[in-house]
Amino acid sequence: MAKITFIGAGSLGFTRGLVRDMLTFPLLENATISLMDIDTERLEFAQKSVRRIVDMGNYPAQVEATMDRAEALKGADAVLCTILAGGTDVWRHDIEIPKKYGVDINIGDTRGPAGIFRALRTIPVMLDIVKDMERYCPDATLLNYTNPMAMLCRAMQRKSFIRLTGLCHSVQGTAEMLADWIDAPMSEITYTCAGINHQAWYLKYERNGKDAYPQIREAISKPEIYNEEIVRNEMFLHLDYYVTESSGHNSEYNAWFRKRPELIEQYCTHGTGWNPGVYAYILNEYQQKENSWKDEAKTWFAAETPISLERGHEYAAYIINALQGGEIFGFNGNVPNTGLITNLPENACVEVPVYVDKAGLHPVHVGALPPQCVALNHVCVMTEEMAVEAALTGDPRLVFHAIIHDPLTAAVLSLAEIKQMVNEMLQQNREYLPQFKHFSV
């Protein structure tokens, strides 16, 4: 009987969907599902909703809920992490302070000044989690969904022996989007995708064994498809490889689209998909969710059949099934670069194909990325490496050095302006950075 632990179980939609998927596997249907959260009310809703799924499917699974992380981790085989270190009242400053200096942020949870400060606050919490795992479930596998993905995974991989990988929806989601654009069923599509989280590249994207990039180029020539992902489509047309993750995120990861208001207007405000032109989109999104989650939960419980019991496509359920001895599964995961991508730094956190079986995680050697792609990856990796080192050592100077090399920040601000901005952000975060003794550069 497997024990599967959710840290941050109050993320209701994710928890419900993943439990639904896991229980469809015969090897997991009798699992003990341990839910842990620091919010009593959310934890109670999570327990009731998971219990309802178990009852609907008549599964022999056990459900437990606790606010004690150690208790939740004891004897776990797999741990899933979906935490948020601080609410909007804390991390809104990650977005609002840079805006004062001219750095316009859409999402800000992955890299850049906002992502780096989120990492500085979250890394100590994640290290506490893996240290608890070393004590209570040293053989378990950690599947991390918390952002900023690459920096958190890198810090944990440096400081703990726990087997872990980071999971993101962007690779599978983008692959499906491209297939839809060329009217191809996913059964005809194969691909090799590698790089870093939110900035991996489809080195091969094939339909029935033949290069599908010409079909994608033809599709993008249609205004309705071009407008769906303007930022990423522009990147593809100029860099020749399609990048993972939405235009909202990718507009922040380079110097090309957000450094002037007229560029935001041209490339970021007229898309028909997720609108990258909206300033502080993530703040508005989280505030709406925070205000509406109770109503959504009540509606879910009131429905006669609130969820289909048919298996979805979330990676984690398939990974846990494979770890328990089920079918081998392939996915894209965030792992240390042990020579997997030869032109990115050794041991940096990279996103590559991974196969998983009962013996564990087996990342795939990719080789060198195209130079026009790895140039952008390399800058982002090095900012992340400095930010992780800053989080581990409490060195504010490294925070500054990481942010001066962020492509968007460097395109907008001078060194002196960045220094002033970083000092203000450090002061704002004083009580959330216990590893720091000084809060100025």
Q: Beta partners for 75?
A: none
Q: In the 8-state DSSP scheme, what is residue 364?
A: P
What is the pLDDT averaged over residues 271-281?
83
**pLDDT score recorded for residue 12:** 79
Cβ contact 285:91 at 8 Å = no
What is the pLDDT averaged over residues 76-91?
92
Mean of all residue pLDDT scores within the chain: 95
* Homologous superfamily of domain range 3-166: NAD(P)-binding Rossmann-like Domain (3.40.50.720)
Catalytic residues: 169
Whole-angstrom distance, CA of residue 7 vs CA of residue 134? 15
Q: Beta partners for 80?
A: 6, 143
Residue found by looking up tokens 């392939």 in the block: 330
Q: Beta partners for 34?
A: 5, 64
Beta strands in 208-336 (DSSP E): 210-211, 329-336
Helices (H), 205-279: 213-220, 223-226, 230-239, 247-250, 261-263
Question: Residues forming the annotated binding site for substrate?
Answer: 147
Cα–Cα distance list, 284 to 93, 288, 316, 373 (Å):
14, 6, 28, 32
Phi, psi at residue 243, to the nearest 5°?
-105, 150
Whole-angstrom distance, CA of residue 348 vs CA of residue 127? 17
Nearest alpha carbon to residue 333 among 151, 149, 104: 149
**pLDDT score recorded for residue 227:** 95
Q: What is the helix (H) or strand (E) element at residue 360, kind and residue range?
A: strand 360-363
**What's the pLDDT tens digit per position in 171-223?**
999 999 999 999 999 999 999 999 999 999 999 999 999 999 999 999 999 99
**pLDDT score recorded for residue 285:** 83
Cα–Cα distance list, 304 to 22, 47, 48, 52, 54 (Å):
22, 18, 15, 11, 15
**pLDDT score recorded for residue 306:** 87
Per-residue pLDDT at 304 exceeds 90: no
Cβ contact 103:44 at 8 Å = no
Per-residue pLDDT at 400 exceeds 90: yes
Q: Which long-range contacts (CB under 8 A, 24 or more apart) does 257-265 make?
A: 257/231, 258/104, 258/106, 258/408, 259/408, 259/411, 259/412, 261/104, 264/104
**What's the pLDDT tens digit per position in 114-139?**
999 999 999 999 999 999 999 999 99
pLDDT-based confidence at 92, cuts 50/70/90?
A: very high
Cβ contact 80:72 at 8 Å = no
pLDDT-based confidence at 273, cuts 50/70/90?
A: confident
**pLDDT score recorded for residue 289:** 81
Cβ contact 144:151 at 8 Å = no
Question: How crowded is residue 110: how many other Cβ atoms within 10 Å of its Cβ?
Answer: 27
Cβ contact 130:156 at 8 Å = yes
Pairing mode of beta strands 210-211, 349-357:
unpaired
Angle in degrees, CA 192, 196, 202, rounded to 5? 25
Per-residue pLDDT at 274 exceeds 80: no
Domain boundaries, the chain: 3-166, 167-441
DSSP states along 165-214: EE--SHHHHHHHHHHHHTT--GGGEEEEEEEETTEEEEEEEEETTEE-HH
Percent of the chain exceeding pLDDT 90 equals 88
Cβ contact 131:161 at 8 Å = no
Residue 202, CA atoms < 13 Å, CB-side half-sphere: 30
Q: In the 8-state DSSP scheme, what is residue 35?
A: E
Per-residue pLDDT at 26 exceeds 90: yes
For the chain, the distance separating the N- and C-terminal CA atoms, rounded to the nearest angstrom, is 52
Nearest alpha carbon to residue 21 among 297, 234, 259, 329: 329
Whole-angstrom distance, CA of residue 154 vs CA of residue 389? 10
pTM of the model: 0.96
**pLDDT score recorded for residue 372:** 98
Per-residue pLDDT at 275 exceeds 80: no
Architecture of domain 167-441: Alpha-Beta Complex (3.90)
The structure tokens listed for 88 are 């909007």
Question: Residues forming the annotated binding site?
Answer: 147, 168, 198
pLDDT-based confidence at 382, cuts 50/70/90?
A: very high
Question: Residues forming the annotated binding site for Mn(2+)?
Answer: 168, 198
**pLDDT score recorded for residue 307:** 86
pLDDT-based confidence at 85, cuts 50/70/90?
A: confident
- Top pLDDT among 258 and 88 is at 258
Cα–Cα distance list, 164 to 153, 154, 239 (Å):
8, 10, 32
**pLDDT score recorded for residue 177:** 97
Q: Beta partners for 336?
A: 349
Cβ contact 319:356 at 8 Å = yes
Percent of the chain exceeding pLDDT 70 equals 100
pLDDT-based confidence at 277, cuts 50/70/90?
A: confident
Helix axes 281-302, 88-100, angle to 10 degrees: 150
Per-residue pLDDT at 408 exceeds 80: yes
